[in-house]
Amino acid sequence: MKLRNPFAKNLLGVDIGSRTVKAISLKHHRGGLALDKYFLYDLSETAKAYPTGANPAEALRAGVSLQALQRHPFAAGVPDRDVIHLALELPRLSDAELRTAVKHELSELTGIAAEELAFDFVVHAGPAEAPTLQVSAYGCQRRNVESLVKLVRGAELNPVRVESDTLAITAALTFNGYIENEKSYAVFDLGERHLTAALVQGGELRLSKTFDNGWGSINERLAGKFGFSYAEAEGHKHRYDFNAQEGADPAVEQALDEAYAAIFSDFKRALELFADFNPDAKVDQMLLTGGASQTPNLPRVLQMFFKIPAEVANPFRKIAIYAAGPASDEIGRLAPFMMAAVGLALSNEKEAA
């Protein structure tokens, strides 16, 4: 799934989601990294009839043009919903044999024909004397990668790297100091059309699973029950904070309770999956990313339900931000959306490490 250019510098991380299109580039500054250029477009604000009529290609072209990023090298993320992540145990093989074995296993287990499969994998560190290797494998339809590259090329950017959004998020969390090798983390990316849960242990991504209950499902529930427009449903959703609201419509509050109950059931399923994968390692912390991580009181409620500390992660925690005043306020507001884009922009840093 990777297109490599060893001479690429200052990559633009491009993350095209169901609701937002965002991109960011970083630059070296005083021994660290600083924000260089960025943009974010909310398609619900640019398409009057959102979620129909959204045009991510147009938004991407506009951002590239306004920031004068034409011909810039980019790393893009394949949406989690399109990527299948498998944990494999394989015999010790040569690099070429291992790649063939991973491709075969992915094809067999996903039903995607080998010639139609785009894939990548990570071999986890283990005892040298162990007869087998623990491998995290990622695969998707090759046409999904080709469509993504075509879309971003249409904005006059040059492809360098394509990888899973979940890998990019893990890289950004690690860079920003959220991941300790001795601890186990459940990372939840809270998107418009999905909830993606990832297990990070020993500093490495071990398993991930995407669920269809995203925060847009709340809007759909309210629209179906009360005839609200997307914007009206969004207003009710933003006012909701898991507490009784004075003057709120009880029927709307109940519908919101039910919508969140469905989402929380997916959190529970993810944590159960992680416990089955490694019964000996408890989850030490939940880390929340994605635009919906801004939901009021969400970390507190999750911690109350699951008895695990929960925190909203900041993708700019260790990245210098120069702007002050309204500009820095805007960056702070956009930060929850930018974790995958930051991880993609860090691609060259990961390879240089």
The domain locations on the chain are 1-80+142-178+315-353, 179-312
Structure token digits, residue 164: 């899973």
Three-state secondary-structure class, residue 160: strand
Residue 99: predicted pLDDT:
95
Rounded distance between C-alpha atoms, residue 141 and residue 275, angstroms: 29
Residue 187: what are its φ and ψ, rounded to 5°? -100, 125
Rounded distance between C-alpha atoms, residue 267 and residue 271, angstroms: 6
179-312 CATH fold: Nucleotidyltransferase; domain 5 (3.30.420)
CA atoms within 13 A on the CB side of 70: 5
pLDDT per position as a tens digit, 189-202: 999 999 999 999 99
Residue 4: predicted pLDDT:
38
pTM exceeds cut of 0.85: yes
Contact 36, 25 (CB under 8 A): yes
Q: Which residues of the chain have pLDDT under 50?
A: 1-8, 351-353
Residue 125: predicted pLDDT:
79
199 DSSP 8-state letter: E
Contact 309, 286 (CB under 8 A): yes
1-80+142-178+315-353 CATH fold: Nucleotidyltransferase; domain 5 (3.30.420)
Residue 6: predicted pLDDT:
37
Domains 1-80+142-178+315-353 and 179-312 in one fold: yes
Candidates 87, 42, 282; CA nearest to 185 is: 282
Structure token digits, residue 44: 């619900």
Bond preceding residue 51 cis, omega within 30 of 0: yes
Buried/exposed 13-34: b ≥16 CB within 10 Å, e otherwise: bbbbbbbbbbbbbbeeeeeebe
Long-range contacts of 24-29 (CB under 8 A, 24+ apart): 24/338, 24/341, 24/342, 24/345, 25/69, 25/72, 25/345, 26/319, 26/342, 26/345, 26/346, 29/320
Residue 244: predicted pLDDT:
75
DSSP string of 76-122, one letter each residue: EEE-GGG-EEEEEEEE---HHHHHHHHHHHHHHHH---GGGEEEEEE
Buried/exposed 267-300: b ≥16 CB within 10 Å, e otherwise: beebbeebeeeeeeeebebbbbbbbbbbbeebbe
Rounded distance between C-alpha atoms, residue 214 and residue 292, angstroms: 9
Residue 348: predicted pLDDT:
67
pLDDT per position as a tens digit, 322-353: 655 555 667 878 899 999 999 999 986 654 44
CA 169 to chain centre: 5
